[in-house]
Amino acid sequence: MDYLEQSFSVKFEYRVYFTSGLFRDPNTVFGQFLREKKIAGITQKILFVIDKGVLDAHPSLRADLAHYFSRLDETLLAGAPLIVPGGEAAKNDPALFDRIVAAIDEYGIDRHSYLAAIGGGAVLDLAGYAAAVSHRGIRHIRIPTTVLSQNDSGVGVKNGINHFNKKNFLGTFAPPVAVFNDADLLTTLTDRDWRSGIAEAIKVALIKDAIFFDWIEAHTADLAGRDLPVMKQLIKRCAKLHLEHIAGGDPFEQGSSRPLDFGHWSAHKLEQLTHFGILHGEAVAMGIALDSVYSAVSGHLSEAKAQRIVRVLKGLGFAVTHPLMQVSGEDSPVLKGLQEFREHLGGRLTIMLLPDIGMGEEVHEIDVQLLKEAGEKLKLM
């Protein structure tokens, strides 16, 4: 056998900053980052993509950006910010992707410049995908504006858009050059968006950190009551666990496992079945509840611990089931989520269940009858 073989590794590094009033005086965090990255003799430009919902909630943002960059010599604003719709609509419309790529071309955003996105997870996914495929990869800065994106999706390495009515069918693994979590941006969230992001913190606590779950349980009332200092603690701890997982050996998911998708097989399908009328975090909360109760009825987790998990979810204001989550037989619509997970992971189904709080365990098959039983139990909890 005659062949050549090559092997190499690439080191990725990026920081997640925690701050408030990112583009208001006297905050210098963003400018300092740009100064550190400046290369002598090269003009850096930055193009912003902004979630329309964020701009509506923070109408001074455009003026704040203009004022902030008027005092910086390191980086030039490249035209007016692109304003795109937030939520899953951002990932469902190919024209938005084309618009961002066209702006990257028009303003000459090259590998020494930046595409910065300010918005929720969907807008960050869209902009990150455009950045990753333009010029085979330009520098992408994420400024997440929701609990969900600050503690989970915005600090990770995934980008993508929806296609063929499948979530994240097109996408890349491409780390940002930096993430800036601005706590002030959380203050204008609706109660639904505030609560939604807590689901991902519960997820990572359940599979990785029992002490963190205990903390969430103890602070349920504070979180439900929109206590910002408590939420900042939750976001930082959750982001840390997420980053540790990415560094743990399979950041680009080359294997057959996606432990951070605990509770997600049904959540992703429920989002689609409701035409994204249910927020991602709301669907994840229901998926966590279903898989936790399934873990109990299948003999992995104690009944008392499953009830404890459901109690915390309900205490935060989450619904824990939905008619479309119910399994009546093999042809139940939600079960298509299992097949889509199987396809996503190379043909072998891998689902994370709980043998205990703070510990995940992979299984490769799901008993539909037990899933039906779990759904029936949830309706009574």
pLDDT in tens, 159-217: 999 998 888 899 999 999 999 999 999 999 999 999 999 999 999 999 999 999 999 99
Q: For residue 175, give its domain range.
A: 15-188
Boundary-marking domain end, from 173, 188, 203: 188
**166 and 122, same structural domain?**
yes
Single residue among 171, 188, 205 that ends a domain in this structure: 188
CATH number (domain holding residue 356): 1.20.1090.10
Among 188, 204, 229, the domain-final residue is 188
- Residue 347: band (very low, low, confident or very high) from pLDDT cuts 50, 70, 90: low
How many domains does the structure of the chain reveal?
Answer: 2
Task: For residues 131 and 272, state if they share a domain.
Answer: no
Same domain, 252 and 366: yes
User: For the domain that residue 121 is a member of, what is the CATH number?
Assistant: 3.40.50.1970
Do 98 and 233 share a structural domain?
no
SS (H, E, C) the chain: CCCCCCCCCCCCCCEEEEECCCCCCCCCHHHHHHHHHCCCCCCEEEEEEEEHHHHHHCCCHHHHHHHHHHCCCCEEECCCCEEECCCCHHHHCHHHHHHHHHHHHHCCCCCCCEEEEEECHHHHHHHHHHHHHHHHCCEEEEEECCHHHHHCHHHCCEEEEEECCEEEEEEEECCCCEEEEEHHHHHHCCHHHHHHCHHHHHHHHHHHCHHHHHHHHHCHHHHHCCCHHHHHHHHHHHHHHHHHHHCCCCCCCCCCCCHHHCCHHHHHHHHHHCCCCCCHHHHHHHHHHHHHHHHHHCCCCCHHHHHHHHHHHHHCCCCCCCHHHCCCCCCCHHHHHHHHHHHHCCCCCCEEEEEECCEEEEECCCCHHHHHHHHHHHHHC
Question: Domain check: are 92 and 49 in the same one?
Answer: yes
Q: Are residues 145 and 224 in the same domain?
A: no
342 shares a domain with 293: yes
Answer yes or no: is 219 within a domain: yes
Q: Which of 221-235, 250-264, 315-329 has the highest mean pLDDT?
A: 221-235
Are 230 and 326 within one domain?
A: yes
Q: What is the mean pLDDT of residues 78-102?
A: 94
Q: What is the pLDDT of residues 6-51, one digit of tens each?
A: 998 888 899 999 999 999 989 999 999 999 998 888 889 999 999 9
Whether residue 224 sits in one domain with residue 101: no
Overall average pLDDT of the 53-73 stretch: 94
Q: Are residues 204 and 133 in the same domain?
A: no
